[in-house]
Structure 1
Amino acid sequence: MDAERDAPGSPEWRITSQGPAEAIAGYTDRVSVVPGQECGLFVSTTAASFRVSAFRVGWYGGALARRVWTSPPVPGRAQPAPLVLPETRTVYAGWRRSLPLDTTGWPEGAYLLRLDADTGHQRHVPLIVRSVRGVGRTVLVHAPATWQAYNRWGGASLYAGSSGAYQTRSLAVSFDRPYEGDGAGKFRVYEWAAVVLAERLGIPLAYSTGLDVHDDPTVLEGAAAVVCLGHDEYWTPEQRAHVTRARDAGTNIAFLGANTCFRRIRLDPASGPAGRTVVCYKSAYRADPCYPSRPDLVTTDFRTAPAPDPESSLTGVLYEGYPVDAPYVIHRPGHWIHEGTGVRAGDAFAHLVGVEYDRVTLSAPTPRMLEVTAHSPLVCQGQPSHSDSAYYTVPVGAGVFASGTMRWVEALAAGTGELGRDHGMDARTRAFVTRTTENVLRAFAEGPAARHRPEPQPDTAELYPA
């Protein structure tokens, strides 16, 4: 991978002309592939032809991506309108395949496929070229289930239906459709900057997705660390069990977001191809076919009935609220994660807490060796509370860090204009979050953190007295 990181970059990876929704859009028939595996690309366009370029995301001397492949011109076709499965209001495209993608020679990593119509309009399509083994490496776990949950292409997501109402939302969403907007989904906002930073550090990396960890946790075996990126809300019980088992075997975990592992989902062939459909009934869980025979598989919030299992036993913190915009306030300036940042107790970083946040909640399962590193006062929907960053260790030595705010990864690009919005965060905030993240990733790459970094000093009782 050193040769890959030293390769020349391709700064032209960005989209310069999105055009109207029908100009061009596409999706792949696999969320991830191993190097050399083929997948299909499905494209609809009003143009006579288009090309496809595959850009691997990384540092590349500041270019931020490298082009690894470009197709010849491909005949364009306007594909039919999407289809809807009435039982679950699932939207899927049902398009004909436009071309195969042979990933032979593509290095493991996170990719943005760029579709270039001959009219000049463009879209991205995310694809992960995943690692089979993660021994001794830091595994970046991407969150396509969450990307898809929020995707309203074709008129419906797990949040709203064609009417815009929650009541008409999809109960299951399909990967067989493009992502709305520029096509990059939540990857670009909540994950991209963390990939660039990890690549720049030069630590040994592996790439996977939550869906792959669900299917086969082999990539976690012997891994130095697992990194869950900025918005990783939707997990299967199997994924959660596999990540927890890795922690208990000595693998460090970093949660660089908030609202992580909040929704329990199922990958159910009853609503489409196996592994290509994310099922989550949420508040309508009594209509889930698994209710009441398999309460552990009912798709609702992990913390709620019929099988409550709050995420805090893994993350250390508990999702509390939305929306919020508040300063991030340092509580433990001398903690090793803050080395080199120069922070003092009470220092604040405007707008870093948002738009969702987590906090220590002692009424839920909470790790015993938990130390709060940032304790940020806020008001959410009229109620005063706090957002917490926290760190804990387990007996075998693994360390777990949770940022407690969804804007953590976005802050890695604050002030650069790269994401088009910074929520008011500035270069000072970017420098702080970057150095703190570097400290976490470098330490976690060395193996079980408790063996080479100071143990946490539990302080939850003083912050949240009974």
Structure 2
Amino acid sequence: MRQLISSMLSISCLFGGLFSTLPAEAQETPKAAKRGSLIVEENKLPGATDWQLTRVRPDNKGHRTPWIEGYCSRQSVTAGESIDIMVSSDPPQPFKIEVFRMGYYGGRGARLMTTLGPFEGQTQPVPAPGEKYLHECRWEATTQLTIPDDWLSGVYLGRLTTLPSEADRPYWQSYIVFVVRDDRPADVLFQCSDNTWQAYNQWPSNYSIYTHPKGVQGPWADVSFDRPYGREAQYNGVVNDPLTFGSGEFLPLEFPLAYWLEKHGYDVTYCCNSNMLTPEHGLKCKSFISVGHDEYWDIRQFRSVEKMRDAGVNLLFLSGNSICWVTPFRASSDGRENRIIFRGGPYGAKNDYALLRERLHGPFPEHGPDEGLLMGARNVEPVNGGGDWTITKPEHWIFAGTNVKAGDRIPGLIGWEYHGAPAKIPGLEIVAAGTAFQGGENPQQWTATIYPGPKDNFVFNAATIFWAQGLSSPPGHTLPWSHFSRPHGPDPRVQQITHNLLQRAIDGKQ
């Protein structure tokens, strides 16, 4: 009997060792959580085998792709509403638009929803810089798309493809991006960080919130959503951005979370930053997720999410450098709401980081409250760098099923910006902490935190832009890197922690 038990243990150890060497996606077991039937049924539909950009041609400055580029008249739209699509091609060429919903779809990552065109291309004008270097396009609409009633909430990419008149001529491609939202109660409300996408957008020629002649951190530059997404100022050396032209930061920083949520059938609905100016939709949901690089918030967003927390909604900041700058919206020149933003001033009340920003880059016309009192941890200086996500409280329930020990590290998961300086909130716990290095040398302390809300809910702060990198690596995704550090991709510990958080948020237990 002892020999039999010994043999069984040996076999168990052998297979356990083999299991531990499998890729993280193969190791992951879906949780038996409450699932969203709409998402499950949607992802049973056939995925697209060809939705990525194949031929992309940046101009000689690398900021745009004038051969084919476009933008939408609104950041988000609901079923039954219409959205205008503006496209320019230089030189003028016929083109088509294929619209895809982004999700799991059996691992393909997208579903073809409709094909529009062909259209006769025209070269539309680059606007002259306006006040505060504003570049606001006023292009003619190529087409108007009315969203069918059966299009589920999600992130939608429109792939623009030129149609050469001669077979031996190359075609060129880029994306447009918009969100279809709804007003239904859901387990998860996924907020895209599109204010930050626009803040860093350099279209057409190095014009962003960060590229005003007065400096990179002041309130001097306005930016408009009425222009294509070109090269992102922060992408230089961070991610292979030609794969993403026109889609903002969604593919590198946010799609791995959306893909993973839909793979596991979570009941998720999507919105933009501008949809969170009031809390009504969020109050219908069990959890709210901030993802990736969520730096720029109108103060009305802050108050909305604050009300959601106080009403019992669980908050998951799977993001870094979040709620850093007060970012007021204003209308476009033709009156469409929430189409222009600028860096109004720092969040942080009177903390050291906010005072430093004011001293170095102010005066600012806007000032926000202490973001740490909402998120649990704050923006710190330096705020960028790279490091390992190091566990400090392995006995906490968020680590159930991970088998982690104090001091275990998830390599490269901190970056390229993060949170630290935890707030003094009753019940707040530091679950992970460590050192990030700016430029590989300048150290800063980061902290991941969790604290209880007032109605048996919680607020979790992962303290890194790269959290979604540990969840999945979908088609069309390239791992980012920065400050001589990089995440390693899907990790079963990150996946299990996220499952635990969502199960507690949805069912009140893991």
Distance 1:128 1:252 in 2: 23
Partner residue of 2:429? 371
* 1:329-385 deviations in Å (ceiling 9; x for gaps): 1112222222222221111122211111111345xxx32111111111234476543
Distance 1:416 1:96 in 2: 33
Correspondent of 1:237 among 299, 313, 322: 299
Correspondent of 1:315 among 357, 364, 375: 375
CA positional deviation for 1:32: 0.2
Partner residue of 1:337? 398
CA positional deviation for 1:442: 2.8
CA positional deviation for 1:414: 5.7
Contact 2:259 2:472 in 1 (8 A): no
* 1:214-273 deviations in Å (ceiling 9; x for gaps): 1x4321123110111111111111111111101111110100111111111111238774
Residue 247 (1) aligns with residue 305 (2)? no
Higher relative contact order (CA 8 A, sep 6+): 2
Residue 156 (1) aligns with residue 198 (2)? no
Partner of 2:379, secondary structure, is strand
Correspondent of 1:97 among 101, 125, 141: 141
TM-score (norm 1): 0.85
Contact 2:310 2:453 in 1 (8 A): yes
Contact 1:157 1:169 in 2 (8 A): no
Partner residue of 1:32? 76
Instruction: Tell me: CA distance 1:177–1:306, structure 2 relative to 1, closer, same or farther (3 Å).
Output: closer
Alignment of 1:145-294 (within 5 A): 145-154=195-204, 155-161=206-212, 165-166=215-216, 171-181=221-231, 182-214=245-277, 216-269=278-331, 273=335, 274-282=337-345
Partner residue of 1:123? 174
Partner residue of 2:444? 385
Aligned CA-pair RMSD: 2.7
Instruction: Tell me: CA distance 1:103–1:136, structure 2 relative to 1, closer, same or farther (3 Å).
Output: closer
Q: Does 66-75 or 328-337 show the bigger shift?
A: 328-337
Instruction: Tell me: CA distance 1:201–1:434, structure 2 relative to 1, closer, same or farther (3 Å).
Output: same
Instruction: Tell me: CA distance 1:77–1:210, structure 2 relative to 1, closer, same or farther (3 Å).
Output: same
Distance 1:94 1:438 in 2: 44
Residue 411 (1) aligns with residue 470 (2)? yes
Distance 2:102 2:504 in 1: 23
Q: Does 108-117 or 378-387 show the bigger shift?
A: 378-387
Partner of 2:117, secondary structure, is coil
CA positional deviation for 1:121: 1.1
What is the count of residue pairs matched by the alignment?
425
1:157 is matched by which residue type in structure 2?
S
Instruction: Tell me: CA distance 1:272–1:343, structure 2 relative to 1, closer, same or farther (3 Å).
Output: farther
Structure number having the greater strand percentage: 1
Residue 11 (1) aligns with residue 11 (2)? no
Instruction: Tell me: CA distance 1:399–1:54, structure 2 relative to 1, closer, same or farther (3 Å).
Output: same
Distance 2:127 2:177 in 1: 20
Contact 1:264 1:301 in 2 (8 A): no
2:414 is matched by which residue type in structure 1?
V
Distance 2:51 2:415 in 1: 29
Partner residue of 1:69? 114
Between the aligned residues of both structures, percent identity stands at 28
Residue 110 (1) aligns with residue 173 (2)? no
Distance 2:505 2:299 in 1: 25
CA positional deviation for 1:305: 8.7
2:207 is matched by which residue type in structure 1?
A
TM-score (norm 2): 0.78
Instruction: Tell me: CA distance 1:72–1:439, structure 2 relative to 1, closer, same or farther (3 Å).
Output: same
Partner residue of 2:26? none
Residue 355 (1) aligns with residue 416 (2)? yes
1:390 is matched by which residue type in structure 2?
T
Q: Does 374-383 or 163-172 show the bigger shift?
A: 163-172
Which runs of 5 or more residues in structure 2 are unaligned?
1-37, 59-64, 165-170, 232-244, 347-357
Structure number with larger C-alpha Rg: 2
Distance 1:109 1:436 in 2: 24
Partner residue of 1:83? 128
* 1:149-183 deviations in Å (ceiling 9; x for gaps): 1111023111113x695389852110000001411
1:402 is matched by which residue type in structure 2?
N
* 1:269-325 deviations in Å (ceiling 9; x for gaps): 387743111122448xxxxxxxxxxxxxx9x999x9974511001000001133311
CA positional deviation for 1:416: 7.9
Instruction: Tell me: CA distance 1:117–1:242, structure 2 relative to 1, closer, same or farther (3 Å).
Output: same
Distance 1:244 1:168 in 2: 27
Partner of 1:84, secondary structure, is coil
Correspondent of 1:431 among 483, 492, 503: 492
